[in-house]
Copies of this chain bind each other. A is one copy, B any other.
Amino acid sequence: MATSLTALLHGPDKPGIVARTAGWIFQNGGNILHADQHCDSGAGVFIQRIEWIPAPGREPDVDASEFRQFAASLGMDVKTARSTDRPKVAVLVSRQGHAFHDLMLRWRAGELPCEIVFVASNHDTWGDASRQHYHTPFHHIPVGPDPASKAAAEEKLGALVRENGIKLLVMARYMQVLSGAFLEKCPAPVINIHHSFLPAFAGAKPYHQAHARGVKLIGATAHYATPVLDAGPIIHQAVAPVTHRQSVDDLVRLGQDLEKQVLARAVRWHLENRVLAYGNKTVVFE
């Protein structure tokens, strides 16, 4: 199957953008597979995702580069990707392994179009599994209680991210808060999974909070991590019903199924160039 290109554009709304981008592709011999757009009329922002196969014989990278120039001439920010791209991803995990195993198995089964380059953890619980079962380098980066230890750990993680050319960091129940300083310098976006339906029960121990409040639904939320804890743009959310019968332990267990699915879906959408974060929201072109 031919390589396709995907472009994700956004910029000030004005008439004719749909026609112009489609027209450019058509005039350059491309065949549009999908095109979807959204206009946030309140914010005056136009957002589009368009996927096409370049003209036969035309080099995809050249086509992508020329499209980016064209989109820029329309005042649009634009990001392109080839269907054959496998961006480099790093996975962070702590002691609880459900989201980590789920991601690694989906990746190995071909469900996530990326290359998982390393796994890092503040514990060594999953070192053997990473290396032997998933054939992926593992970095144990302990984090002590003192600020200096945390800063050193973030320094080490940041170096690994830069050295490996990481394009996406996934916190698969990594139980350390990444500092604002780290996130601001980090060259790759960070997707985190929070174990509640944000904005309810932000912060620590959300299942305990949910149990104490007596809610009848528990949830999970995948979002881009930002310096404000648990307040970044939401990519995906799901919930499951619970009753008075469920203990906190039951909520944890039931919630893990949500966490796995919500995180995997958010990561997949991101890798497929389907998610655009702007302001404190996302547009997800499913």
Q: Which of B25, B214, B219 contacts A234, CB < 8 Å?
A: B214
A152 to chain B, nearest CB (A): 31
Q: Does residue A143 face the partner (Cβ distance < 8 Å to B)?
A: no
Q: Does residue A109 face the partner (Cβ distance < 8 Å to B)?
A: yes
Q: Which residues of B contact A4 (CB under 8 A)?
A: none
Contact B257 A261 (CB under 8 A): yes
Count residues of chain A with CB under 8 A from any CB of chain B: 60
Q: Does residue A2 face the partner (Cβ distance < 8 Å to B)?
A: no
Q: Which of B19, B23, B98, B197 contacts A217, CB < 8 Å?
A: B197
A104 to chain B, nearest CB (A): 10
Contact A197 B199 (CB under 8 A): no
Known: A18-B32, A33-B39, A199-B215. 11 other contacts (CB 8 A): A16-B26, A18-B35, A19-B19, A19-B32, A23-B23, A38-B245, A40-B244, A98-B105, A197-B239, A199-B200, A214-B233
Q: Which residues of B contact A257 (CB under 8 A)?
A: 261
A281 to chain B, nearest CB (A): 3
The complex places the Cα of A238 from the Cα of B238 at a distance, in Å, of 12
Residues in A lying within 8 Å of B, measured CB to CB = 15-16, 18-20, 22-23, 25-27, 31-40, 97-98, 101, 105, 109, 111, 129, 132-133, 197-201, 213-217, 219, 233-239, 243-245, 253, 257, 261, 279-284, 286
Q: List 24 A-B contacts (CB under 8 A).
A: A15-B26, A15-B32, A16-B31, A18-B22, A18-B32, A18-B35, A19-B19, A19-B22, A34-B37, A36-B36, A98-B109, A111-B253, A133-B133, A197-B215, A199-B200, A213-B234, A214-B279, A214-B281, A216-B234, A216-B236, A217-B219, A217-B238, A244-B284, A257-B261
